[in-house]
């Protein structure tokens, strides 16, 4: 089982078509390198749609995104950040969680 988001990358032009659900997302460059990890929670006005649109304002190098609808978005967000850190990557993050566990995923 992979801990990464399993959905395919989509071009940033498709953000307006996203659902207003809670969840997590990643912004990526043209090669699929993750530049940013974020989440859409209960305070996101239009869910994933607005959270991703807002993140794109600060992450101008992003050319694509992928997302996962998830009501346990904070836990899943922390898990995604830990996966990237365990693999030696350091993408920008939307919010620094107050606590992190130790995660050593295989094949991250």
**Token couple for 97:** 């969680």
What CATH code is carried by the domain that includes residue 57? Answer: 3.40.1440.10
Residue 65 resides in a domain: yes
Give the per-residue pLDDT at 105. 56
Q: Which of 31, 48, 45, 29 is nearest to 91 (CA)?
A: 29
Flag whether 76 is in a domain: yes
Q: Which range marks the domain in which residue 36 is found? A: 10-93
pLDDT digits (tens, 9 = 90+) for 67-82: 999 999 999 998 998 8
Chain-centroid distance, C-alpha 43:
16
State which H helix or E strand residue 38 sits in.
Answer: strand 34-40
2, part of any domain: no
Structural domain count, the chain: 1
**Residue 108 pLDDT greater than 60, yes or no:** no
| Alpha-carbon span 62 to 65, nearest angstrom | 8
In a domain, residue 83? The reply is yes
Q: What is the pLDDT of residues 17-57, one digit of tens each?
A: 998 999 999 999 999 999 999 999 988 889 999 999 999 99
Contact criterion met (CB below 8 Å) for 86 and 52: no
**Structure tokens given for 7:** 């959905």
| pLDDT, position 1 | 46
Residue 59 corresponds to which tokens in the numbers above? 């992450």
**Residue at 101 is within a domain:** no
Answer whether residue 21 is part of any domain: yes
pTM of the model: 0.86
Q: Between 102 and 35, whose confidence is greater?
A: 35
d(CA 19, CA 32): 22
Cα–Cα distance for residue pair 41/52, rounded to 1 Å: 12
Query: What is the reported pLDDT for 99?
Result: 62
């Amino acid at each position: 089982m992979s801990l990464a988001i399993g959905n395919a990358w989509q071009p940033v032009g498709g953000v307006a078509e996203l659902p207003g659900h809670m969840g997590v997302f990643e912004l990526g460059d043209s090669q699929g390198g993750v530049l940013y990890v974020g989440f859409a929670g209960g305070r996101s006005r239009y869910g994933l749609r607005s959270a991703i649109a807002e993140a794109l304002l600060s992450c101008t190098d992003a050319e694509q995104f992928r997302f996962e609808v998830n009501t346990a978005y904070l836990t899943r967000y922390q898990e995604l950040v830990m996966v990237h850190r365990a693999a030696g990557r350091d993408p920008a993050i939307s919010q620094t969680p107050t606590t992190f566990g130790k995660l050593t995923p295989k094949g991250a």
